[in-house]
């Protein structure tokens, strides 16, 4: 078990190494839609590539989610398989958002032997989401 400062150092090294191995500008928060973002997530059990829709206006949040859901078969057939769609996902903070994600289990930040696996997973899945976004962003933005 690591102390909090040791874990912070490991996390920092993890993200620095990812940035060095995959030196590109990811889309992430630059979707041009308020509270609609792409994210990387990793802990000691799994890695995830996420689409988070955090809009405070429930109708807008639902609208964006439903548009993504309407493209689910295209998204899964042409870009990423095994996506999880959850319209009402509750964060640890108690906030409810809409989330779509793909996950890789049995990897973790504290296990350096799995870092390359995580990095490859991140790069492959995020690149696929960005390709999807570049084709369908105009449709998705039209709420």
Residue 69 covered by a domain: yes
Residue 132 covered by a domain: yes
Q: Which domain holds residue 78?
A: 14-141
Residue 4 covered by a domain: no
Residue 40 covered by a domain: yes
Q: What is the pLDDT of residues 100-131, one digit of tens each?
A: 999 999 999 999 999 999 999 999 999 999 99
Residue 70 covered by a domain: yes
Buried (b) or exposed (e) across 11-33, using 16+ Cβ within 10 A?
eeebeeebeeeeeeebbeeebeb
- Number of separate domains in the chain: 1
Q: For residue 69, which of 50, 85, 56, 90 has the smallest C-alpha distance?
A: 85
Residue 81 covered by a domain: yes
Q: Please tell me the pTM assigned to this model.
A: 0.93
């Amino acid at each position: 078990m690591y102390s909090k400062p040791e874990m912070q150092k490991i996390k920092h090294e993890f993200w620095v190494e990812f940035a060095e191995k995959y030196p590109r500008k990811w889309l992430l928060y630059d979707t041009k839609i308020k509270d609609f973002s792409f994210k990387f997530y990793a802990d000691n059990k799994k890695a995830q590539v996420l689409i988070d829709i955090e809009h405070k206006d429930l109708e807008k949040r639902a609208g964006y989610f439903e548009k993504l859901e309407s493209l689910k078969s295209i998204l899964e057939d042409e870009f990423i398989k095994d996506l999880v769609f959850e319209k009402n996902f509750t964060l640890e903070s108690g906030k409810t958002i809409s989330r779509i994600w793909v996950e890789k289990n049995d990897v973790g930040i504290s296990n350096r032997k799995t870092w390359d696996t995580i990095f490859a997973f991140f790069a492959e899945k995020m690149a696929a989401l960005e390709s999807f976004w570049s084709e369908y962003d105009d449709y998705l933005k039209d709420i």
